[in-house]
Each structure stands twice: as structure tokens, then as C-alpha cells.
A and B are shown apart, each in its own frame.
Chain A
Amino acid sequence: MSQNNFFKSNKIPKWLLKVLGKNYFKRAHKLTDQLKKNLNKT
């Protein structure tokens, strides 16, 4: 599906489902949590 089509329908395209994978909130949280530790060291 082209980008043009999914923006018309607001549907998340299949390729993005595959690329992003599940538990995206958890992974984003984990990543920023790890980086936060480095900021706290300074």
C-alpha cells in the first residue's frame, strides 16, 4: 500500500506493523529509561 493511500484512510499500513513490531510503548519506555540513567550520572 502506498503512503498516499494509508493517509487517505488513516489506516496503519502492513509494512509499518512489521517494521515496528509489538510492545512499542514498553520498548520506548525502556530505551528512555536507560538513557535517563546516563543523564543522572552527570
Chain B
Amino acid sequence: MDFIMKKISENKQIEFNNLINWFLSKKSAKKNLQSDYKWFLNTISKNIIFYYQDFKKLKIQNLKETIIKLKKYDNTFVKKFDINSKKKNELLIREVRKLNNYLSFFIVHGSYATNDFIKNWSDFDSVVVIKDKVLKDYKLLNEFRIKMIALENLLNKIDSFQHHGFLFMTEFDLNHYSSNFLPINVLEHSRVVTDKKILKIKYYRQKKFWVKKFLTLNNIFKKSFNQGFLEHHPLKGKYLHDNFKDLNTMYQMKYFLSLIMFIPCLYLVYWQTYIQKIFI
């Protein structure tokens, strides 16, 4: 019974996280806003608030706790920037600092935090932890959404072929850190833009989750092989085809390569060995 409750809670948490991530990203934005779409966004915003307040009542037992001391993210430790990249990065960081009212943490992880990024190749990876108070007031949430979409547009200037925007989490998520989220060891190598440096995480891990994720990846490759194209991340309606049938698909190819590089991470995490792509 306890396991079933835990499973239901985790599913709710993951679906809620998916909803927030969609709502706060460019995916939810339309160029010409129709009144019914404005109403739809407002309704979602209000539902997020109601749902989050209920959601916080969920109790997941037997959590482990870890504390990570985060290093500060600034441009001084990044040696590889050329002038242009440095300017864009500084602008992004300046804009993030203006959002202190909404953010508990803005964490940079991956190659920008470990200083091994490759210009015009590496994605800017980040985790944004939203303050609880933003999830209490739908007007504040709407305000935050507009600012984050503007920030995502700025992010695209750093890497126009970025496959993702920001990764959003709530304070509740930090206190009930799901297997579905970014592996905690990745956060250990990350850096923080916002003020707080101590990141306290209460987590639970389910081994089965990683098996499921690995099988999903296996199925993606199987399907791609059978149908001759990868049905993910199209650009202008075009997918990546097998055997370089369309050479003008570097964006799509980049996504495929990121899946390939993810294989050892995913496989080893099952055996409790956490590695980052940098070490492969």
C-alpha cells in the first residue's frame, strides 16, 4: 500500500513538473495571442497554483538527505569565452540576477559549469528552482512566465540550436527529489548564479525508473531503425533520416548524438555508478 501511494505521488509530481516546464517555456507562447488562448493560459496558471498548494500536502516517507555546497557561477572562471560569447553570457547572467524575487536557485550545470564547453556545440544547461511564493499567486506566476520566456529568447542567442530551455523545479521538488529529475551527482559539479549557496535535497531513488528510461531509449532507436527516421526534435518539419539522406539536418543530428552520449550515463546509473558525459 505504501509503495502504491508513493508511486501515485511520484507520478503526480512528475506530471506537475512537466506542466510547469511547458507553461514557463517558449512552447506555451504564441505569436498572435487570441483571447481564448489568453484565457487558457490564465486558467492553467490558476490551476497550477491550486494544484501546488494541494500537492504540498503529499507526504513521501523515508527520504534521504544530502547537502551540496555550490560554487558561484561567474564569467571569471570561464577561460574559453571569446569576446562575443562573453558578452552574451554576461547579459544572460545579469538578467537572471534581476529575477531574485522569483528564484530560489538558478543553477548552471554541465559544460558551462565545468568549463569544458565547446563553442557552438555545447548546450547551456541550467536548473531553475522557483520560490514558493510565486506558486501562491497566479499573477506573480504569469509575470514570472513572461520574464522566463524573454530569458529563453536570450538563451537562444548563446546557442541557437539548443534543444531545451531551462529546467524548472519547485521548492517542494527539492524536498522530495524524484528519480525522474537530474541525477544529484550532476548538481555536485554545478555552479549557482543566485545568492544562496547551500542546496539541501531530500531524495528518493527508484532503480526501476532507470531501467524504464533505458528501455525507452532502446525503443526510440528500434523505431528509428525500422521507420528510417528519428521521430524527435524536428526542425522546420524535418526529421533526421538514416544514412544521411538529408544532409541539412545538423540540429536533428545533434539531438541524436546527445542520445548516444547518454547511453553510458543511463546504463551505469542503474549500477549505482554516476558519471557525467564529460568523463566518457
Closest to A6 in B: B250
Q: Are A3 and B120 in contact (CB under 8 A)?
A: yes
Is B235 an interface residue, CB under 8 A from the partner? Answer: yes
Q: Are B251 and A24 in contact (CB under 8 A)?
A: no
Q: Are A32 and B225 in contact (CB under 8 A)?
A: no
Q: How many residues of A contact B (CB 8 A)?
A: 24
Interface string of B220-252 (1 = CB under 8 A from A): 011011001010000100000011100111110
Q: Are B225 and A25 in contact (CB under 8 A)?
A: yes
Q: Are A31 and B253 in contact (CB under 8 A)?
A: no
B277–chain A nearest beta-carbon distance, Å:
16
CB contacts under 8 Å to B, within A13-29, are 13, 16-17, 22-26, 28-29
Q: Are B221 and A28 in contact (CB under 8 A)?
A: yes
Q: Are B270 and A39 in contact (CB under 8 A)?
A: yes
Q: Are A36 and B242 in contact (CB under 8 A)?
A: no
B105–chain A nearest beta-carbon distance, Å:
30
The range of chain B's interface size is 20 to 34
Closest to B264 in A: A35
Question: When A3-B120, A10-B235, A29-B224 are in contact, do A39 and B214 touch as well, CB less than 8 Å?
Answer: yes
B238–chain A nearest beta-carbon distance, Å:
9
Is B18 an interface residue, CB under 8 A from the partner? Answer: no
Q: Are B260 and A36 in contact (CB under 8 A)?
A: no
Is B215 an interface residue, CB under 8 A from the partner? Answer: yes
Identify B263's interface contact among A10, A16, A31, CB under 8 A.
Answer: A31
Q: Are A10 and B248 in contact (CB under 8 A)?
A: yes
Closest to A17 in B: B244
Identify B118's interface contact among A3, A9, A22, A23, CB under 8 A.
Answer: A3
Q: Which of A9, A22, A28, A31 has the most CB of B within 10 A?
A: A28
Q: Which residues of B contact A25 (CB under 8 A)?
A: 221, 224-225, 228, 230, 242
Q: Are A29 and B222 in contact (CB under 8 A)?
A: yes
Q: Are B247 and A32 in contact (CB under 8 A)?
A: no
A32–chain B nearest beta-carbon distance, Å:
4
Q: Which residues of A contact B270 (CB under 8 A)?
A: 39
Chain A interface residues (CB < 8 Å from chain B): 3-4, 6-7, 9-13, 16-17, 22-26, 28-29, 31-33, 35-36, 39
Chain B interface residues (CB < 8 Å from chain A): 118-121, 160-161, 211, 214-215, 217-218, 221-222, 224-225, 228, 230, 235, 242-244, 247-251, 253, 256, 259-260, 263, 267, 270
Q: List 26 A-B contacts (CB under 8 A).
A: A3-B119, A3-B120, A4-B119, A7-B250, A9-B248, A10-B251, A11-B247, A11-B248, A12-B247, A12-B248, A12-B249, A16-B253, A17-B244, A24-B243, A25-B221, A25-B228, A25-B242, A28-B221, A28-B224, A29-B218, A29-B221, A29-B225, A32-B214, A32-B218, A36-B215, A39-B267
